[in-house]
């Protein structure tokens, strides 16, 4: 039943689907939560969770009260979190695109490919949850798919895109399934001859330490973290270490940093979908000196003045977006995406998501199917 619900949600253009016993089923469309249908009962949701979680792992779910899954359901790749709440068993389902992300498909600036042309160093991709970091990382990896071939090793939790490369040799490992932790995966990676390592997310100091070590020892490392700006990402990384170690961490980061790409998804005037709006810090000699000395508050002004060095502030990137004549609408599956012309920009571009509320989401032809499916689940 969940597969059909997910298929209907995908047709509605939803990025997420939320189930909670006793509450309406909710979808997130263009960043806004909207009511999709009436509630599903607690027993029906628990039965659906037991169908999803392998029998051998059900006892672990009962112990942890949560489980993370990566599955293809209804023809849609999904990242599913099953959790225990005060009402019973709920689910948060992230609907992923089956199409191979590229810089062009994501409407990103083509010059971002230069971030992955170095043989070694660290590239950070930062942003809030749901800002498209995983898609951008996959697009940057795709930009490496050229001769001479490279060995790309990814560590992800979970694997969101099955990377299809023509020239590169790609090995994808999922934390929890193929390696017990990011830390162990990084230790293993140093013995597996990779040219490029992707670290799906840096949360703990030990992961950050091993990531910096890998970037310093001849590997190109791409990693993501939660931060709203390049300076915040660097500050958060450094402050994750004990105070007595931070000077050494800053020096190490200054030596190996290639750049920081921070992004947020923004609804542009005249479009019915969101596009990434970016800030790009490149590790010039001035940037490295500021990081080494710990004067991180100066990074923002250096980026504003650093256009000749390839720096992009959010404001400068907005001006580039304003000058675009068309955008590509995201697709769930591989195939050519028709460019959508954009009308002349307004005097000031939108900086947030608009619309939405508590109204019932109009699902078009799929709406009736969704209601029928939910009733079937409730009747189980």
Residue-wise pLDDT tens digits, 197-219: 999 999 999 999 999 999 999 99
Residue 235 makes CB contacts below 8 A (sequence gap 6+) with 296
**pLDDT at site 334:** 54
pLDDT the model gives residue 273 = 85
Is the pLDDT assigned to residue 98 strictly greater than 50? yes
Separation of alpha carbons 283 and 22, rounded Å = 51
pLDDT average, residue stretch 123-152 = 92
Distance CA(74)–CA(51), nearest Å, equals 15
Report the C-alpha gap between 39 and 21 in whole angstroms. Answer: 7
Q: Helices 246-256 and 205-216 meet at what angle, rounded to 10?
A: 40
- Segment 317-336 shows an average pLDDT of 80
pLDDT at 97 over 90: no
pLDDT, position 350: 39
Query: b/e per residue, 319-333, with b = 16+ CB within 10 A?
Result: eebeeeeebbebebe
Distance, in Å, from the CA atom of 354 to the CA atom of 36, rounded to the nearest integer, reads: 18
| DSSP code string of 302-340 | HHHH-GGGT-B-HHHHHHHHHT-SEEEPP-SSSSPPPEE
State yes or no: cis peptide before 377, omega within 30 of 0. Answer: no
Q: What confidence category does residue 342 fall into, taking pLDDT thresholds of 50, 70 and 90?
A: low
Task: Compute the average pLDDT of residues 75-99.
Answer: 90
Location of structure tokens 């995908």: 10
Full set of structural domains in the chain with CATH: 2-96 (3.30.450.90), 110-328 (3.40.50.300)
Q: Say what the pLDDT of residue 346 is.
A: 38
Mean pLDDT on 66-76? 87
What value does the mean pLDDT of the chain take? Answer: 86
Task: Enumerate the β-bridge partners of residue 221.
Answer: 122, 197
- Whether 85 and 125 have beta carbons less than 8 Å apart is answered as no
My answer on whether omega of the bond before 158 falls inside 30° of 0, hence cis, is yes
The side-by-side arrangement of strands in the sheet containing 16-19 is 32-37, 25-29, 16-19, 88-96, 76-85, 66-73
If one counts every other C-beta atom within 10 angstroms of the C-beta of residue 187, the result is 14
**Alpha-carbon gap, residue 216 to 121, rounded angstroms:** 6
Q: Give the residue with greater pLDDT, 340 vs 221.
A: 221
Neighbours of 59 (CB within 10 A): 10
Is the separation of the CB atoms in 191 and 175 below 8 Å? no
Determine the Cα angle at 94 with ends 90 and 97, to 5°. Answer: 155
φ, ψ of residue 74 in degrees (nearest 5): 60, 25
**Whether the predicted pLDDT of 340 surpasses 80:** no
Taking 3-state DSSP, the helix, strand and coil percentages for the chain, each rounded to the nearest 5, stand at 35, 25, 35
Q: d(Cα 179, Cα 61) in Å, to the nearest integer?
A: 19
What does the block give as tokens for 65?
């009260």
How would DSSP label each residue in 15-71?
SEEEE-TTS-EEEEETTEEEEEE----HHHHHHHHHHHS-HHHHHHHHHHSEEEEEE
246, two tokens: 């931070």
What is the pLDDT at residue 341? 59
The CA R_g of the chain, rounded to the nearest whole Å, is 22
Segments of the chain assigned E as strands: 16-19, 25-29, 32-37, 66-73, 76-85, 88-96, 121-127, 151-156, 169-174, 196-199, 220-226, 257-267, 274-282, 326-328, 339-341
- Burial label, 1 (beta-carbon count in 10 A; 0-12, 13-18, 19+): middle
């Amino acid at each position: 039943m969940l597969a059909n619900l997910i298929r209907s949600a995908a047709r509605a253009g939803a990025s997420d689907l939320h189930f909670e016993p006793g509450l309406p089923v909710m979808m997130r469309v263009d960043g806004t939560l909207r009511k999709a249908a009436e509630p599903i009962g607690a027993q029906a949701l628990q039965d659906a969770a037991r169908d999803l979680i392998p029998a051998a792992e059900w006892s672990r779910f009962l112990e942890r009260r949560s489980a993370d899954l990566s599955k293809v359901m209804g023809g849609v790749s999904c990242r599913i979190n099953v959790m225990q709440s005060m009402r019973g068993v709920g689910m948060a389902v992230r609907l992923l695109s089956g199409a191979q992300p590229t810089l062009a498909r994501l409407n990103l600036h083509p010059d971002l490919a230069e971030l992955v042309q170095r043989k070694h160093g660290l590239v950070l991709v930062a942003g809030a949850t749901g800002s498209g970091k995983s898609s951008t990382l996959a697009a940057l990896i795709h930009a490496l798919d050229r001769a001479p071939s490279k060995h790309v090793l990814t560590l992800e939790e979970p694997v969101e895109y099955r990377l299809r490369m023509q020239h590169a040799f790609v090995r994808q490992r999922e934390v929890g399934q193929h390696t017990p932790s990011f830390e162990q995966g990084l230790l293993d990676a140093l013995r597996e001859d990779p040219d490029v390592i992707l670290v799906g997310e840096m949360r703990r100091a030990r992961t950050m330490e091993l990531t910096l070590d890998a970037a310093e020892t001849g590997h190109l490392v791409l990693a993501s973290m939660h931060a709203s700006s390049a300076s915040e990402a660097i500050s958060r990384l450094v402050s994750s270490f004990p105070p007595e170690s931070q000077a050494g961490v800053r020096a190490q980061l200054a030596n190996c940093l290639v750049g920081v790409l921070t992004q947020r998804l923004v609804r542009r005037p005249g479009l019915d979908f969101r596009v990434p709006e970016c800030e790009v810090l490149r590790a010039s000699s001035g940037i490295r000196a500021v990081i080494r000395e710990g004067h991180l508050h100066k990074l923002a002004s250096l980026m504003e003045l650093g256009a000749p060095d390839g720096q992009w502030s959010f404001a400068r990137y907005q001006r580039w977006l304003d000058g675009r004549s068309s955008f590509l609408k995201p697709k769930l599956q591989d195939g050519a995406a028709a460019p959508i012309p954009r009308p002349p920009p307004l005097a000031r571009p939108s900086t947030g998501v608009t619309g939405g509320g508590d109204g019932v989401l109009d699902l078009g032809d799929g709406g009736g199917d969704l209601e029928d499916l939910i009733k079937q689940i409730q009747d189980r």
